[in-house]
Amino acid sequence: MRSIEHFIGGQRVAGRSGRHGDVFDPNSGQVQARVALANADELEAAVQNAAAAQVGWARTNPQRRARVMFEFKHLLEKHMDELAALLSSEHGKVLADARGDIQRGLEVIEFACGIPHLLKGEYTQGAGPGIDVYSARQPLGVVAGITPFNFPAMIPMWMFGPAIASGNAFILKPSERDPSVPVRLAELMIEAGLPAGVLNVLHGDKDTVDGLITHPAIKAISFVGSSDIAQSVYALGSFHGKRVQAMGGAKNHGIVLPDADLDQTVADLLGAAYGSAGERCMALPVVVPVGEETAEALRAKLVEKIAELRVGVSTDPQAHYGPLINAAHKAKVEAYIQTGVDEGAELVIDGRGFSLPGHEGGHFLKPCLFDHVTASMTTYKEEIFGPVLQIVRARSFEEAIALPSRHQYGNGVAIFTRNGDAAREFAEQVEVGMVGINVPIPVPVAYHSFGGWKRSGFGDLNQYGLDGVRFFTRTKTVTQRWPKGGVVSDQSFVIPTMR
Ligand code: NAD
């Protein structure tokens, strides 16, 4: 059986804790590899390697650090197919989507290539007599990132791109469910010229996460995962004096106004609801048609088009989406579907009970469609994270805005309309962090920032973009005076002011 090792001090290191996690092949349901789970000694080794490497890396000038990023970008492009195949084999997303996962991370690396410019500080000449003031952004030191299973390439790069370019050393604790790609990314960073120890990958579970959060040498924790864990990571990390950003779960709504282009909207909804088997924090699992006429027309088109979707193995180029990550997650999604039925929602299309010939053990689930879902139902309130689309009918525009605004999650939302006035009002009023106007998955481009509101994000700085650089640096402000020779200022016991 293949063993997936840690990556510490610039090389793969076999786990010695005796603990491991199973990594499944989602297409077959079989265990395909075992991932080592770190113990306290291995965690300490990662921290010590990172701390030792960080000092020299922070002193490496930003342009040289950017060159490593440039080279890493080229290596990502060169190894795109290999990485996508590896990613897809552990996650189960289809190959084209796996390439998208890597590409979106690569775009953050492209952003990080601009680090010399991004780190330029501010300067005020002549703030007082002979006094100049400047502010510089300095790296924090050793920082850590904890990432979820659903984007095993993109989300690690969201974090370590800006963090490392800014001069920090990084310890990545990736999801133990699809851990191979992060190790490969670390190897490519070394090949790109990164000094050993600046990027380490430590596999593990809650014990490892807790060890990182409470370790005194780690200055910041970036977390992406489900909300309850995000909140506890935020609380524990803050208590231990660390800077923490913790992104959580989601339940994104797509509002469909009566004037929307329905064919385009349905095409967009299908990809956003069922792509990657719905295992995206920016999936659109809730659609809110406004008015009964819109609801009926939308439902009819959805039913027709859902029937054409193909679920297949992740290497099937014709498949729209592949299997779910593992059997436990599939069972959880199916339990939510049953709850929806029990709560009185209408299960218009039931994708359960599907078995792919030749891949009977795979974690496949065909698309499900619910209608007449209401805001009081558990299956509406909670994140399902599977190929399940729920229609929640709204009588008015106001009711449609209220649904995502009152929901516990506030990650993404989309509105489909031809009415600029309504779209503008919606974007301004809705209580959600990322808004799409006729854009179903409004993941901001790499030079903006990613972050949800309410229980979708704890902490005040978003992922990547300028926020990413701000999160992984701290500002130092220097006030300097170079008096003219021979001129002595008067003694003063009063707080200096600018009067
Ligand atoms: P998860 O919360 O189960 O795991 C995330 C990470 O936390 C993993 O590395 C895991 O090993 C670790 N972990 C697990 N249990 C822990 C515990 N008790 N204490 C500390 N750490 C623990 O999430 P997942 O199932 O891997 O990913 C899916 C979730 O992530 C969904 O809720 C999805 O919406 C969310 N997500 C959010 C975003 C975002 O940016 N908002 C992006 C992607 C995914």
Give me the catalytic one of 140, 281, 356, 414: 281
Partner residues linked to 377 by β-bridges: none
Ligand 1 nearest atom to the CA of residue 329, by list position: 25
Using the predicted structure, report yes or no on whether residue 301 has a pLDDT greater than 80: yes
Tokens representing 378 are 């558990």
> In this structure, which residue's CA is closest to atom 16 in ligand 1?
206
27 to 24, 30, 174: CA distances (angstroms): 9, 8, 21
**11 and 153 housed in the same domain:** yes
CA–centroid distance, residue 89 to ligand 1 (Å): 20
Confidence (pLDDT) at 21: 97
Using the predicted structure, report yes or no on whether residue 426 has a pLDDT greater than 80: yes
Angle in degrees, CA 384, 389, 392, rounded to 5: 105
Confidence (pLDDT) at 493: 86
323-354: pLDDT as tens digits: 999 999 999 999 999 999 999 999 999 999 99
Tokens representing 102 are 């890597």
Report the percentage of the chain scoring pLDDT > 70: 100
Going by C-beta distance under 8 Å and a sequence separation of 6 or more, which residues neighbour residue 282? 250, 252, 272, 411, 412, 434, 441, 442, 443
* Ligand 1 binding site (Cβ under 6 Å of any ligand atom): 146-151, 173, 175-176, 205-206, 209, 224-226, 229, 233, 247-250, 281, 383, 385, 411, 452, 456
Confidence (pLDDT) at 324: 98
**Residue at 499 is within a domain:** no
Q: Which of 106, 21, 9 is nearest to 50 (CA)?
A: 9
**464 and 337 housed in the same domain:** no
Domain holding 70: CATH number?
3.40.605.10
> In this structure, which residue's CA is closest to atom 22 in ligand 1?
206
Tokens representing 381 are 């309130």
**293 and 407 housed in the same domain:** yes
**Residue 368 annotated in active site:** no
**Residue at 63 is within a domain:** yes
Confidence (pLDDT) at 5: 98
Q: What is the mean pLDDT of residues 23-43?
A: 98
The CA distance from 270 to 267, in Å, is: 5
> In this structure, which residue's CA is closest to atom 42 in ligand 1?
281
**152 and 21 housed in the same domain:** yes
> In this structure, which residue's CA is closest to atom 6 in ligand 1?
148
Our count of domains for the chain comes to 2
pLDDT band for position 499 (cuts 50, 70, 90)? confident
Q: What is the mean pLDDT of residues 476-496?
A: 84
Q: Which of 449, 412, 409, 407 is nearest to 433 (CA)?
A: 412
Confidence (pLDDT) at 439: 97
Q: Are strands 453-454 and 409-410 parallel, antiparallel or unpaired?
A: antiparallel
**44 and 191 housed in the same domain:** yes
Ligand 1 nearest atom to the CA of residue 225, by list position: 30
Confidence (pLDDT) at 489: 76
Tokens representing 57 are 């890396």
Going by C-beta distance under 8 Å and a sequence separation of 6 or more, which residues neighbour residue 58? 138, 139, 167, 168
The CA distance from 368 to 385, in Å, is: 12
Confidence (pLDDT) at 484: 79
269-290: pLDDT as tens digits: 999 999 999 999 999 999 999 9
**228 and 314 housed in the same domain:** no
**242 and 258 housed in the same domain:** no
User: What DSSP character marks residue 221?
Assistant: E
Confidence (pLDDT) at 495: 86
**Residue at 185 is within a domain:** yes
Confidence (pLDDT) at 129: 87
**Residue at 383 is within a domain:** yes
CA–centroid distance, residue 134 to ligand 1 (Å): 39
Q: Ligand 1: which of 224, 227, 467 to mutate, most ligand atoms within 8 Å of CB?
A: 224
Amino acid, res. 297: A
**Residue at 486 is within a domain:** no
246-276: pLDDT as tens digits: 999 999 999 999 999 999 999 999 999 999 9
**139 and 102 housed in the same domain:** yes
The CA distance from 67 to 113, in Å, is: 7
152-174: pLDDT as tens digits: 999 999 999 999 999 999 999 99
- Note down the domain range covering 266: 253-437
Domain holding 423: CATH number?
3.40.309.10
Instruction: Dihedral sign for Cα 71, 77, 79, 80, please.
Output: positive
Confidence (pLDDT) at 157: 98
Using the predicted structure, report yes or no on whether residue 483 has a pLDDT greater than 90: no
Residue 12: in which H helix or E strand, if any? strand 11-13
Q: Ligand 1: which of 24, 209, 450 to mutate, most ligand atoms within 8 Å of CB?
A: 209
What is the pTM (predicted TM-score) of this model? 0.97
Asked if 66 and 116 touch (Cβ cutoff 8 Å), the reply is yes
pLDDT band for position 465 (cuts 50, 70, 90)? very high
Asked if 233 and 268 touch (Cβ cutoff 8 Å), the reply is no
Asked if 82 and 95 touch (Cβ cutoff 8 Å), the reply is no
Report the percentage of the chain scoring pLDDT > 90: 95
> In this structure, which residue's CA is closest to atom 20 in ligand 1?
206
The CA distance from 299 to 389, in Å, is: 11
**300 and 349 housed in the same domain:** yes
Confidence (pLDDT) at 380: 98
**Residue at 334 is within a domain:** yes
Using the predicted structure, report yes or no on whether residue 490 has a pLDDT greater than 80: no
Q: Which of 444, 421, 448, 420 is nearest to 434 (CA)?
A: 444
Ligand 1 nearest atom to the CA of residue 383, by list position: 32
Q: Which of 247, 233, 151, 145 is nearest to 456 (CA)?
A: 247
Ligand 1 nearest atom to the CA of residue 456, by list position: 41
Going by C-beta distance under 8 Å and a sequence separation of 6 or more, which residues neighbour residue 445? 107
Confidence (pLDDT) at 487: 73
**239 and 260 housed in the same domain:** no
**431 and 460 housed in the same domain:** no
Ligand 1 nearest atom to the CA of residue 204, by list position: 11
Strands in 264-352 per DSSP E? 286-289, 346-349
**324 and 366 housed in the same domain:** yes
Lowest-pLDDT choice from 368-377, 407-416, 480-489: 480-489
